[in-house]
Structure 1
Amino acid sequence: MWEWITSNAAVMQAIIALVTAGVWITYLHVFVESLRRQRRSEILITMGGGRGLGSRVLVSNLGLEPIYILDVMLTLCSDAGERIVSVADRTELDPSRDDDGPGRATLQGPLKSGDYVETGTVDTLLDRAARTLGKGREDGELSRIEITIAAVTAAASGIVAARRVFNVRHRDEGTALQPRTIYAEQIRDRRGRRRIEDQLLKML
C-alpha cells in the first residue's frame, strides 16, 4: 500500500490540489452571491384598504441597504396613449402651513431598511397627476396605471427602481384596480434603469 502511494504521489497531489481548488471556488461563489444579495435593492409597492381608488399605496424598502427615493412616477395608460407624471410632491398640502414641513411636502427622501412610506391613496395620486398635467381627471378612459419608484443607494451605482402595474376595472359599484403581479417588478437591468433615468431627465 505504501509503495503504491509512493509511486502515485504526484497523481494524488494533483487530485488533492484539484479538490482543494474546487472547494475554494465553491466557497468563493457562495460568498459572492451572498454579498450580492445583501447589496441588492428590494422595493415593494403594495396597496392597503381594498382595491378601489381610496386604497392606500405603500412603498417599502426590504433591501439591507437604505435607499433615497428620487421620484414616484405614475403612468396613465388609455387608448389615447401613455402619460408619465411625477407624483412625488404632495401638492394637495397647503405650502403656507408651518406644520407641513419638507418631510411632508414631498415623498423624496431616505428610507431605511425595513421602513415604509405612504404615498397617498390612488385617488390622491390621480389628483396630483391631473394638477401637473393641467387638465381634469379622465378615470373612465384609463385601462392601466403603473407606479414606478426611482431611488439611489450607496450599494449600487446609478438608479435602482421598481414598478407595479395595475389593470383598471370599471364596474357599476366603482373603479377597481387589479394588480398584474404579486410583487413589484425590480428594474435591475441596464436598459431598464437607463429608461428610468431618461424619464427623470424629461421631467426636470
Structure 2
Amino acid sequence: MFGWLSQHSDILSIFTTVGSIIIWLGFSQYLYTEMRRRRHPRLLINGGKRRDTHALCIISNMSDEPVMVEYLIAELETSQGRITQEISGTVVSLSNSQQGPLNANDFFHIGTFDRIIRHLADGEGIKMDGHRPEGNVRFRSLTVRLIGIYGPESLPFAAQRCFRLKQKESYCILSPATPDTPQFINRWQRHRVRKWIEEINNSSSSTLQGINR
C-alpha cells in the first residue's frame, strides 16, 4: 500500500491540488454571490393577517442597510382603465410611518388596502357603496410601488407588488398576484425607475397616467 502511494505520489499530488482549487473556486463563488446579495436592496410589500382589503399594507426592509423611500405610488386597475396616483404626500395621513430612512429589518404600514383604494377612487370621483364602487365600475387589482435610494448608491431602485381584487357581497378578497415582491435593482431596471421619477416630477396632477409597467 505504502509502496503504491510512493510510486504514484506525483499523480496524487496533482489530484489533491486540483481538488483544492475546485473547493476554493466554489467557496469564492459562494462568497461573491453572498456579497452581491447583501449589497442589493430588498423591500417586501405584504398584507396583514387578513385576506380581505381591511388588511394592513406592510412595507418591510429586508436589506442590510437603511432605505430612503422617496416615492410611494398606488395603481388601481378597474374595468374602465387604470388610476395611478403618487400618495407620498399623503403617507402621513395614511400611515403610522415617520419621515426618514427605513432601517434594516424595520417595517411600517401605509394603512389598510381598503383605505388606499378609497383614496384613489375619491381622487377620480368614483363613489363607493361599502367596499364596492357605484355604477358599472369594477375593481380588478391594486399595485403598490415604492421608489427609494439604498445606502450610498446614486441610482434609485423600485419594488412593487400587485394584489388581485375579487368582490364578494360583504367584503373584497385580496390575493397577491406574485409569490414575492419583484425588485427593480439591475442597471437597466434602475434607468427605467429614473424615467418613472421624471414622469412623476413632470406631472401637473397627482394622477400619473403615463406610468406603465
Residue number among 102, 112, 115 corresponding to 1:124 in the alignment: 115
Letter in 1 for 2:181: A
For 2:101 and 2:92, how far apart are their aligned partners in 1?
22
Is residue 69–residue 150 contact of structure 1 (8 Å, CA) maintained in 2? Answer: yes
**TM-score, length-scaled by structure 1:** 0.75
For 1:37 and 1:158, how far apart are their aligned partners in 2?
17
- 1:101-121 deviation digits (Å, cap 9, x = unpaired): xx97x8763111111111122
Is residue 157–residue 193 contact of structure 2 (8 Å, CA) maintained in 1? Answer: no
Letter in 2 for 1:80: Q
Structure-2 change in CA distance of 1:21 and 1:3 (3 Å):
closer
Alignment of 1:1-204 (within 5 A): 1=3, 4-5=7-8, 9=10, 14-48=14-48, 50-90=50-90, 93=93, 109-130=100-121, 134-137=123-126, 139=133, 140-154=137-151, 156=153, 158-204=155-201
How many residues align? The count is: 189
**Distance apart, 1:49 and its partner CA:** 5.5
For 2:91 and 2:29, how far apart are their aligned partners in 1?
48
For 2:157 and 2:92, how far apart are their aligned partners in 1?
27
Is residue 161–residue 193 contact of structure 1 (8 Å, CA) maintained in 2? Answer: yes
Letter in 2 for 1:181: T
- 1:80-138 deviation digits (Å, cap 9, x = unpaired): 33332211222784xxxxxxxxx97x87631111111111222332344356xx53136
Is residue 69–residue 108 contact of structure 1 (8 Å, CA) maintained in 2? Answer: no
Secondary structure, aligned partner of 1:181: coil
Is residue 88–residue 107 contact of structure 1 (8 Å, CA) maintained in 2? Answer: no
For 1:178 and 1:145, how far apart are their aligned partners in 2?
10
Letter in 1 for 2:40: R
Structure-2 change in CA distance of 1:129 and 1:191 (3 Å):
farther
RMSD of Structure 2 on Structure 1 (CA)? 3.0
For 1:91 and 1:66, how far apart are their aligned partners in 2?
19
Is residue 92–residue 98 contact of structure 2 (8 Å, CA) maintained in 1? Answer: no
Structure-2 change in CA distance of 1:145 and 1:192 (3 Å):
farther
Q: Any stretches of 5+ residues in structure 2 without a counterpart?
A: 128-132, 202-213
